[in-house]
Structure 1
Amino acid sequence: MSDTDLPTTVLRAHAEDASAAELAALARADDRPRPPRWRLSPWAVTTYLLGGTLDDGTEITPKYLGSRRLMEVAVATLATDRALLLLGIPGTAKTWVSEHLAAAISGNSTLVVQGTAGTPEESLRYGWNYARLLAEGPTRGALVPSPVMRAMELGAIVRVEELTRIPADVQDALITILSEKHLPIPELDEEVMAQKGFNVVATANNRDKGVNDLSSALKRRFNTVVLPLPDSLDQEVEIVRTRVASLGRTLELPEGLESLAEIQRVVTVFRELRSGVTADQRTTIKSPSATLSTAEAISVMTNGVALAAHFGDGVVRADDVAAGLVGAIVKDPVQDRIVWQEYLETVVKDRREWADLYRACRELT
């Protein structure tokens, strides 16, 4: 399906549909060895993630701005029989990377298990259509395959989101699948054998440590890649700018509304509050309870763009980003509010070029 074939009512297309033209161009240019059932070679998958220019002039937009080596390790892991665990704080693009990995490798990013405290074992193994089970008994027709089971049969990538939020006894249903590469179905006296190309990409927040820690046996089945926060201010600003522009097109907002100056200020505020020190290293400040991730900066700026488009003059100003900024930082109405007010008075107020942001935030606070 090409970009022009997508229904105009779709708010967010799957990665394999939104980037169909790029994936097709990479497939045409890709003459390197491909693992069994992979749509692209590991080199092409990495190029799809990090961006580049093909020999025919096709521009591949970067999906991830960060360490090339991290992406190479992630892709190489999936080319082996070892599963991949993407670890990091909320908002470091773990889900985004897992989706694009599945799209580039299997052409299908929709085989997903969403981990929650209530995720049952059937989500990782299989369930039953109880009406057919009562009528027919245990038959293959009455069996409802999980996304994991379907991926095993297809030789595809399956994504397990928020693995550490799944109860420990349910997590361990993956051990046999990852080690033996088969899924027993004792009710039918048969098993599903994983086809070549099958693998698992799981994501987990390191802030969730202690929620449902992975057992040692399960940890050994994964190669862990930690996705860090952006290294520099410029890198984080570029990530936010790119994603805000993309979201603006999806939401059919006027182009060019994203203000680089406002993005730099929002990202600077987030980075200083995260690190507990100002950019010039001169002032120590308290950090709020919120993670203040890049994803939250994107949300703040997208909200600001919408305000400027619908209620302003089309130019994103301090008033447009202030509400989102306060909402992202003040999660605890008592402790976080104190931290934010101290930051306003000791840092923002002293920056003369930030006077408009100080006034806008003070009015809201």
Structure 2
Amino acid sequence: MDAPASPPDVEVLRPHAEQQFAGELAALRATDDRPRPANWLLSPWAVVTYLLGGTVGEHLITPKYVGSRRLIEVAVATIATDRALLLLGVPGTAKSWVSEHLSAAISGSSTLLIQGTAGTAEETIRYGWNYARLLAEGPTEGALVPSPIMTAMRTGAIARVEELTRIPSDVQDALITVLSEKSLPVPELGTEVQARPGFNVIATANDRDRGVNELSAALRRRFNTVVLPLPAGVEEEVRIVAGRVADLGGSLDLPSATDAVAEIRRVVTVFRELRTGATEDGRTSLKVPSGSLSTAEAISVVIGGLALAAHFGDGILRAADVAGGIVGAVVKDPVADRIAWTEYLEAAVRPREEWRDFYRACREVTG
């Protein structure tokens, strides 16, 4: 079911997109005069503007996603058709972030969510039962517990499925009838739920989960796949990390990241070099660690460093504050990754005069 919203006067650690950006969504709705699909709060054009940013009258719409406009346009156009949307990419490419903001802009709610795991059962996708009422009343409408997908079908809203390929294959296939027939049979009641206009599904999956629970051919045909790439360049990734750090840091009462751009750029550079297996200038080949070293992990490293600087330092982010987080992100395998990290320190970090403080800090943490 749709999760209850927190009272407006109660501060929460992580507001839903529709709560955090309610002002921007309201400004877009007030000025949006373009055609809207049935039960959409915004037109497809306004949804793309909400995701990528822009100016609407006197209102500034902040970018939620930094990347290809065409990719987002294809994603939004897909949702406006009868095909579901699958956002695919390596970890940390903002799949969940994009999914949440698309749902908030289109339906006004991002909370009709199924988190896929190896233990996800079929009733999580279809419906379940209140067993106390089931025993007392038998199968009745009152005893039925709708899934987020059933609720989305009834209300003409967007349902989200996170980590689709983590869900067992036989459970995944419960989506086939929903996506092809736009109906969900309830044989216990001798009835069915038929989707209202506006209903659709946005699913996410990681490239690295291929082979875990591959989608059946029948299910894959029901999705249009949009691959979200890693940021193209250093500056683009620095901009993404700095923006998210500013948002998260503000909610955690951490020091401003305004003066932390140099350290953010250094974290991003380390991650990009280890991801690609070569230094920025292409002169030195590097071993690639086993972890994904995603943009999301870079954000976590910087946030952790700001917390250290705030609580155990002078509030200014320095090399020593991010060193521990970087080592923890890189060294997932205590043997192979430690070798790769040590070689990176000696081959890429040590020769850089301006990185001496970072080299010493990392050496101290690495041991």
- Indicate if the aligned counterparts of 1:151 and 1:158 stay in contact, CA closer than 8 A: yes
- Where do residues 158-173 of structure 1 align in structure 2 (5 Å cutoff)? 158-173=159-174
Opposite residue 278 of structure 2, the aligned amino acid is V
In structure 2, list runs of 5 or more residues that go unmatched.
Answer: none
- Looking at structure 1, the residues matched to 8 and 138 of structure 2 have their Cα atoms a distance apart, in angstroms, of 43
Would you say the 8 A contact 1:258–1:305 is kept in 2? Answer: no
Secondary structure of the residue aligned to 1:277 is coil
Counterpart code for 2:219: L
Task: Tell me how far 1:5 sits from its aligned partner.
Answer: 3.4
In the alignment, residue 96 of structure 1 is paired with which amino acid?
W
Deviation per residue, 1:122-168 (Å, 9 max, x gap): 01101111111111111111111110000000000000000000000
> Are residue 7 (structure 1) and residue 7 (structure 2) matched?
no
Shift of 1:310: 1.2
Give the equivalent residue in structure 1 for 2:194. Answer: 193
Distance in 1 separating the partners of 2:219 and 2:344: 43
**Deviation sequence 1:221-262 (CA, Å, 0-9, x none):** 000000110000000000000000111110012324651110
Return the offset for 1:53. Answer: 1.1
Q: Following the alignment from structure 2 to structure 1, what is the Cα–Cα distance between the partners of residues 117 and 23?
A: 34
Q: TM-score, with normalisation over the residues of structure 2? A: 0.97
Match runs of 1:233-252 below 5 Å: 233-252=234-253
Query: What's the counterpart of residue 24 of structure 2?
Result: 22
Aligned 8 A contact 1:3 1:20 in 2: no
Corresponding position of 1:61: 62
| Number of the residue aligned with 2:123 | 122
Change (3 A) 1:46 1:142: same
Q: Which one-letter code corresponds to 2:10 in the other structure?
A: P
What TM-score comes out, normalization by structure 1 length?
Answer: 0.98
- Indicate if the aligned counterparts of 2:130 and 2:144 stay in contact, CA closer than 8 A: yes
**For the Cα contact (< 8 Å) 2:245–2:257, is it kept in 1?**
no
Q: Deviations over 1:296-316 (max 9, x none)?
A: 000000111111111111211
Partner of 2:105: 104
Against the structure 1 CA distance between its residues 6 and 103, is the aligned structure 2 distance closer, same or farther, given a 3 Å change threshold?
farther
Greater mean alpha carbon deviation, residues 306-315 or residues 99-108: 306-315
Partners of 2:255 and 2:316 within 8 A in 1 = no
Query: Equivalents in 1 of 2:62, 2:19: separation in Å?
Result: 15
- 1:72-108, Cα deviation, whole Å (9 max, x unpaired): 0000000011000000011111001000000000001
Which 4+ runs in 1 deviate beyond 6 A?
A: none
Structure 2 match to 1:302: 303
Aligned counterpart for 1:38 among listed residues 32, 37, 40 = 40
**Superposition pairs of residues 130-145 of structure 1, within 5 angstroms:** 130-145=131-146
Q: Structure 1 pair 118/256, CA: closer, same or farther in 2 (3 Å)?
A: closer
SS where residue 170 of structure 1 aligns?
Answer: helix
Structure 1: stretches of 5+ with no match in the other structure = none
Count of matched residue pairs: 363
Q: State how far apart, in whole Å, the 2-side matches of 1:7 and 1:250 are.
A: 13
Aligned ranges 1:200-349 → 2 under 5 Å: 200-256=201-257, 259-349=260-350
| SS of residue in 1 equivalent to 2:67 | coil
Q: Which amino acid aligns with 1:43?
A: W
Deviations 1:310-362 (A, max 9, x none): 11112111000101010110011111000000000011000000000000000
Contact 1:85-1:201 at 8 Å conserved across structures: yes
Distance 1:245 1:122 in 2: 39
Letter in 2 for 1:39: L
